[in-house]
Amino acid sequence: MRRVVVTGMGTVNPIGNSIAELDAALREGRSGGALITSFDVSESPVKIGCEVKGFDPEAVMERKAARRTSRFIHLAVGAAREAVDSSGLDVRAEGERVGASIASGIGGMDMQLLAHEHYLTKGIERFSPFWTPGIIPNMGAGYVSMEFGTRGPLASSSTACAASSMAIGDAVMYIRAGMADAMLAGGAECGVVPVGIGGFHGIRACSTRNDDPAGASRPFDATRDGIVLGEAGTVLVLEELGHAQRRGAVILAEITGYGLSSDARHVTEPDPTGENPARAITNALADAGRTPDEVEYVNAHGTSTPVGDAAETRVLKRVFGERAPRVPVSSTKSMTGHLLGATGATEAAICVLAILNGYLPPTINLHHPDPECDLDYVPNALREQPVGVAISNGFGFGGHNACLVIERFEEARG
């Protein structure tokens, strides 16, 4: 089997507009939660979010393109630019053997809202030709491909909060199958918009802890009351091992396993038994040739919802059995908020940082133990500890379950 390694990473997210800034924020246990500033929330029951700060799309895209496209596309291109630059991959020179797999759960919610306002005020005849290509979820992948010149496989998952985990896993399969030698893989989403907040509040999924924005996302805590919506773009450069070695690339980690499953039961609620999400994890471990006993860190989906966190705890107990209380688990959504279609890629990058730097990222804001959530969630402070084998879970509405196995690179795998 062709081995797949990570040779570059880039991110724009609520706690860092680069991989170095993300690393520093994880070490500090810094929250990205704050009062929303991008639109008026004075009449909204949800006033908090995890917004990206200080990002200029015209610094990563040509001005006209930036003005004609949605924010999730800006975030995707910004993340891809850092990833490609850090990898040293000459994408244009190898374009036919380089692909892009960039996910988005919903796409251009910001431009959808503007389009509706335009329709109400100016009518259908004066619609811009840029509305549709600026909105549809696959255009994160499309613009990344156009910006960097990838001419291999071009794909875009739209499987809710599992989307960018699947985008990375699918990219691994393209490389394994010989369809590409390298892939730009990840996801982008902009959920902090009125329709995003309104939609998630409508299903009672959002935290309304408006007086404590930085402490509102509190996965596994007994007082958790919902997600804090965020926005982000994160992209990894994946390469076939021999291809990376021949060009002298720095190898950051290896993606060894990918597993999927479906709950087949409800549009929003997770499987209460944990059986089906657990199967995604065991499938990923089998793909990697690993057993549950070899896992040293779990980056949980951990959304900060009462039902979801308890359900994921049951999932992990199914997978790890008696060892479950000794496996370190953290939800970095406590810091980034819920990044929807960008969450899996961001958390995969966090797993790579944990492996490279020998630490376990914390679950911050965990001050009130929940009897239903009784595992080692690395509460409140980073823990220095070597990580060789990590897994990253991504669970999406509709019963989409995905898991990635990410490992420290070793020339000879054992």
**Among residues 246, 278, 293, which one ends one of the domains?**
246
Q: What would the mean pLDDT of 122-130 be, rounded to a whole number?
A: 83
DSSP code at position 386: -
- Structure confidence at residue 413 (pLDDT): 75
How many angstroms separate the CA atoms of 327 and 83, rounded? 30
Dihedral pair phi/psi, residue 157, rounded to 5°? -80, 145
Q: Which two tokens stand for residue 331?
A: 């939800």
Which secondary structure element, helix H or strand E, spans residue 345, and what is its range?
helix 343-357
pLDDT digits (tens, 9 = 90+) for 101-124: 999 999 998 888 888 888 888 888
b/e map of 369-398 (b: 16 or more CB within 10 Å)? ebeebebbbbbeebbeeebebbbbbbbbbe
Which residues are registered as beta bridge partners of 258? 404
Residue predicted with more confidence, 133 or 77: 77
The answer for residues whose C-beta is within 8 angstroms of residue 412's C-beta and 6 or more apart is: none
- Clarify whether residues 209 and 341 are in a common domain: no
Which pTM does this prediction carry? 0.97
Among 246, 266, 290, give the residue marking a domain's end: 246
Shared-domain flag, residues 178 and 211: yes
My answer on whether 109 and 223 are in the same domain is yes
- Tens digits of residue pLDDT in 275-314: 999 999 999 999 999 999 999 999 999 999 999 999 999 9
Is the Cα torsion angle 204, 210, 211, 212 positive or negative in sign? positive
% of the chain beyond a pLDDT of 90: 90
62 in any annotated domain: yes
- Distance (Å, rounded) from C-alpha 186 to C-alpha 234? 6
Residue 67, CB half-sphere, CA atoms under 13 Å: how many? 4
When comparing pLDDT for 383 and 116, which is higher?
Answer: 383
User: Is there a domain that residue 127 lies in?
Assistant: yes
Annotated catalytic residue 338: yes
Catalytic residue among 74, 243, 301, 400: 301
Summary mean pLDDT of the chain: 96
Residue 371 lies in a domain: yes
Catalytic annotation present for 243: no
181, 216, 246 - which closes a domain: 246
Kind plus residue range of the DSSP H or E element containing 148: helix 139-148
154, 194 Cβ separation under 8 angstroms: no
pLDDT at residue 130, as a whole number: 85
Residue 252 domain-assigned (yes or no): no
Q: Which residues of 23-55 are buried (b: 16+ CB within 10 A; e: fewer)?
A: bebbbebbbbbbebeeeebeebebbbbbbbeeb
Question: In one letter, which amino acid is 47?
Answer: K
Residue 413 lies in a domain: no
Given the residues 50, 161, 351, 373, select the one marked as catalytic: 161
As a whole number of angstroms, the distance between CA 147 and CA 176 comes to 25
**Interval 225-242 mean pLDDT:** 98
> 134 pLDDT band (50/70/90 cuts)?
confident
How many separate domains does the chain show?
A: 2
- Residue 412 in any domain: the answer is no
In a domain, 251, yes or no: no
**pLDDT tier at 72 (50, 70, 90 boundaries)?**
very high
**133 CB-side CA count, 13 A:** 10
Residue 80, domain extent: 4-246
User: Are residues 316 and 211 part of one domain?
Assistant: no
Same domain, 285 and 352: yes
Identified catalytic residue from 50, 74, 190, 338: 338
Task: Tell whether 224 is covered by a domain.
Answer: yes
| Domain match, 103 and 234 both | yes
Those residues with Cβ within 8 angstroms of residue 262's Cβ, 6 or more apart along the chain or in another chain: 276, 399, 400, 401
The Cα–Cα gap between 283 and 277 comes to 10
Q: Tell me: do 231 and 295 sit in the same domain.
A: no
Let me know whether 173 and 224 are in one domain: yes
270 and 230, same structural domain? no
pLDDT at 414: 58
pLDDT digits (tens, 9 = 90+) for 164-204: 999 999 999 999 999 999 999 999 999 999 999 999 999 99
Same domain, 113 and 200: yes
- Residues facing residue 9 across a β-bridge: 236
Whether residues 124 and 266 share a domain: the answer is no
* CATH number of residue 314's parent domain: 3.40.47.10
Mark whether 367 is an active-site residue: no
In this structure, are 261 and 218 located in the same domain? no
pLDDT in tens, 326-373: 999 999 999 999 999 999 999 999 999 999 999 999 999 999 999 999
Q: How many CB atoms lie within 10 A of CB 179?
A: 14
